């Protein structure tokens, strides 16, 4: 079994570059299915989710090359093969294949998606949207069957401003007949990124990034070239790391506008932040002056749920009791138990975590229960005294590209090791 081993208390310094956005990549790659000629997407992070999607596109007849962050997809020979299990189960974002295949082939069979377990994340809004466009949807043996004679534009109101549903309905609607209006659409930057790709492919989309998106269907989409936006969640993770263990760190390849909620919260805690056009510099933070804060996660442009876990590590160093209320995923507090193994003073009450500091963290053996919990544990390991061993690192590698190399370049003592697991331990895992 592969683990990360981190020897903590090393101060980090230098420049760290942010990769392309994971949450964009996992939608942009399936969107290429809708084109009739090759699509080139630059800046894709080299993460396991991207490789899984490459394999899925190849399974349905796509020709795909992926090197140095550039994916070239030729969708011209693709066919509507069923994808009931296998790779499709490995990542939650495989549900974007539903919208893309429905849009192109008017049918799809997709196994129910996997990914990080963060409590119930239903796809009922996606299905409601597909049905409004004229698709018939059934769940048979754990796979979703989608069929439509034709797709016809409709007015769709989302009960929840879901990023996944907004993108999925966009994918299905760009080649539908007539106009589709998505109301209460999510406003995340990744939605604008997908809309930009689709528009460059010939789609007619207005209002992406606002709560009302209008799509006029077109008969055909063609190939194009597109570069993905930087990953705001990775950037925010590095900002928190710079505050916790940095002696002056520049975070390069960022869009500061996408990070305003995080910047404001870190400044409230007492972190100094200097903002450039495409970079952010965080000088050494005096941890003795860090103040406790309250955070409530909200949909964009509010504070992202993906960042409350890494931020909770910095909260262990702040004076007083910080509160994190997660209104998006109430089950997103599994990292708290792991941080407690490292001597954090933290507890969970309902959908709120209460973290009291300052508290010195101690190295321990911990488990990454999901992607962002894993990121939090890496930060905790960098900060803690002694050695931290992180298990189930495959969660982390679903979302952070070249993490070890990036951290080592700043002076971190982190390595990946293969350890032997006894039969008894394997059962527990």
CA distance 300 to 209: 10
DSSP 24-84: HHHHHHHHGGGBSS-EEEE-----HHHHHHHHHHHHTT-EEEEETTEEEEE-TT-----B-
Residue recorded with tokens 């509010």: 302
Annotated catalytic residue, options 116, 198, 355, 373: 116
**CB 362 within 8 Å of CB 339:** no
CA distance 54 to 72: 10
Output the known binding site.
22-23, 92, 121-125, 306, 328
Reduced to 3 states (helix: H, G, I; strand: E, B; else coil), residue 342 is: coil
CA distance 151 to 72: 28
CA distance 241 to 237: 6
CA distance 378 to 415: 11
Output the known binding site for UDP-N-acetyl-alpha-D-glucosamine.
92, 121-125, 306, 328
Output the known binding site for phosphoenolpyruvate.
22-23
CA distance 62 to 76: 7
Indicate if 17 belongs to the active site: no
Write out the two tokens for 239.
């900002």
Residue recorded with tokens 């809708």: 34
Q: Which residues are catalytic?
A: 116
């Amino acid at each position: 079994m592969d683990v990360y081993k981190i020897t903590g208390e090393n101060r980090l310094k230098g420049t760290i570059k942010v990769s392309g956005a994971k949450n964009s990549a996992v939608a942009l790659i399936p969107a290429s299915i809708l084109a009739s000629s090759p699509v080139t997407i630059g800046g894709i992070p080299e993460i396991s989710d991207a490789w899984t999607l490459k394999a899925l596109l190849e399974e349905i007849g796509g020709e795909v090359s992926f090197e140095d962050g550039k994916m070239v997809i030729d969708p011209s020979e693709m066919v509507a093969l069923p994808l009931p299990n296998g790779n499709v189960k490995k990542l939650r974002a495989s549900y974007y294949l539903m919208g893309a295949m429905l849009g192109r082939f008017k049918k799809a069979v997709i196994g129910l998606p996997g990914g990080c377990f963060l409590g119930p994340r239903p796809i009922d809004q996606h299905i409601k949207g597909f049905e409004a466009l004229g698709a018939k949807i059934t769940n048979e043996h754990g796979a979703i069957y989608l069929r439509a004679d034709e797709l016809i534009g409709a007015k769709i109101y989302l009960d929840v401003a879901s990023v996944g549903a907004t993108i999925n309905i966009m994918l299905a609607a760009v080649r539908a007949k007539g106009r589709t209006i998505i109301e209460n659409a999510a406003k995340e930057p990744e939605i604008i990124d997908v809309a930009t790709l689709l528009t460059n492919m010939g789609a007619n989309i207005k209002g992406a990034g606002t709560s009302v998106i209008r799509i006029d269907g077109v008969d055909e989409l063609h190939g194009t070239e597109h570069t993905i936006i930087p990953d705001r969640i990775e950037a925010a993770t590095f900002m928190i790391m710079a505050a916790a263990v940095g002696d002056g760190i520049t975070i390069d390849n960022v869009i500061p506008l996408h990070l305003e909620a995080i910047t404001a919260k870190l400044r409230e805690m007492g972190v100094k932040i200097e903002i450039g056009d495409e970079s952010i510099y965080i000088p050494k933070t005096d941890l003795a002056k860090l103040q406790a804060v309250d955070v409530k996660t909200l949909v964009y442009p509010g504070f992202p749920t993906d960042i409350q876990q890494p931020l909770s590590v910095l909260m262990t160093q702040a004076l007083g009791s910080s509160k994190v209320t997660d209104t998006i995923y109430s089950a997103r507090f599994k990292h708290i138990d792991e941080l407690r193994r490292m001597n954090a003073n933290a507890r969970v009450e309902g959908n709120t975590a209460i973290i009291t500091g300052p508290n010195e963290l101690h190295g321990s053996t911990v488990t990454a229960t999901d992607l962002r919990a894993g990121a939090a544990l890496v930060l905790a390991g960098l900060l803690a005294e002694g050695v931290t061993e992180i298990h189930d690192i495959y969660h982390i590698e679903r979302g952070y590209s070249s993490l070890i190399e990036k951290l080592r370049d700043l002076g971190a003592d982190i390595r990946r090791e293969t350890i032997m697991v006894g039969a008894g331990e394997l059962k527990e895992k």
